Structure 1
Amino acid sequence: MDHEKGITNARARYFDPESVSFFRSSANRRKRQTYWAGFLSGVLASKRLEDEEIPSLIAEASHFAEFFNDPDARDLSEDLNHLCFESREDVLEQIQEIINSTMSTVMSEQQIESIDEVNEFLGFCAGIACDGRLHPKEIDAIVTRFNESEVIEQHPIFENLKYSVFRSMQDGKLTEAEINEILEWLVKLTGDGYSDTGISSIGKVIDLPQMIVEANNINFAQSCFVLTGPLRMGPRSYIVSSIEKCGGIFHANISKKTQYLIVAGNASPDWAATHYGRKIEKVLEYRSKGVKISFVSEYAFEEALRSMLKSADQH
């Protein structure tokens, strides 16, 4: 009996919502840390701190400090806000120290994996594009990244950027049109920078076309649902069983039979590189071919599901 009780307790701990939340938050923390370090590296890519980069740097540092109560990020934001530095070289040194400290923390938790490299490079691209301008030294830095990392060089989401950069560098001369094209690919990867939107990159949510945000626009009967990202409702097994209880059908992957893709509320700007980004890309691909698949916000899905479950329990 003690053995069986031990197994029961272990299962309870495994499915404990707080434990699930802990692991999810750890993954999100790691993603944001690598993205933040990459962003700062992107700012440093030109070997100087440009006037147009400062407002974006303040916004990103403030947001990162808010997420993690990070004293280094807060100090950087305050120093830049109040011009508390002797020279811009001092700021560059401070930024490099933060990069080193952040990546040291990441590596102390576990070995760097390919997804870490991808997220760091996405942050790097965002840091370069944050001021809406592109310096030749920054393009050189992008080339160096592609040459130094097999993961980045071979990752499909960077293919267009890589092609644009290397084609532009072939003749050793960069035209304004080539620079603008490279900048466009950077923006497509990471979204418009703070200089254009007034919103920091860290924590920004994705903007998908025709997202269902009203619960009454969701029909469960014989509809096929696919989930993407860490939903806050609880373990995926609970959500799947609830969908089925309401008359819906759950599939693990996108197909032509899919009616709804439920998108987690905390989906990030680097969704294309995450484990759930490929589902979003697949839906966009199907939609371009005329297949009717709807994106559904997590909050609308929650409301619709709870309403259906309440109705089912009453009967």
Structure 2
Amino acid sequence: MSDLHNEFANSRFFNAARMDRRSADVLAGLAAGIAADGVVKIEEARFLQQWIETQLAHLDDPVINLLYQRIQLMLQDGVLDAEESAELLDTLRGFAGLKVAPSAHAFVESNTLPFNEPAPEIICECQVFLFTGTMAFGPRRECEQIVLERGGVIGASVSKKVNFLVVGSIGNEQWRHTSYGTKILKAVELRETGVPIAIVGEEQWQRALFS
């Protein structure tokens, strides 16, 4: 682990792993508290950003890194719009119960997620996509931009017009109780009535676009 501020490097009393784990546990509690009312305000996002900067000098934990980077990106224009607030809420809810992944782009998916079986072929051109959950690839806007560049369309909500619902790979096994779980449930309901909407994981989406 790197000591970003060089303040612990020569201390024989410093246990980086223990400190990181304790701080990560506190951060999980903060995330749960902020997400409890179902809304993330810009003041709360700024507080969380500053807390991570001051309390977690050691940012080798990939999940904490991801959370910190997302908050930085969302706040770089000084505004936390409704879409960013909703995405951050999903991220915090997932973080509060998330197991640490082995790498920043690891796929931590619940095997209870109702992905299409067999997995469908993913084609972007003229197809309507909708994203839900926290994407390991990057902020949702970046994922949507990639689809647009490949001739796809971004849906506004789960409907009969959507061809693919892509579920972010950094998720919580209790997906039914999260805000992004409601999108999955609605997609499942449509699929069961014969609507050709496919529910796919981010890993499959990345393979289709980048392999």
Indicate the structure with greater helix content: 1
State the TM-score, normalized to the length of structure 1.
Answer: 0.34
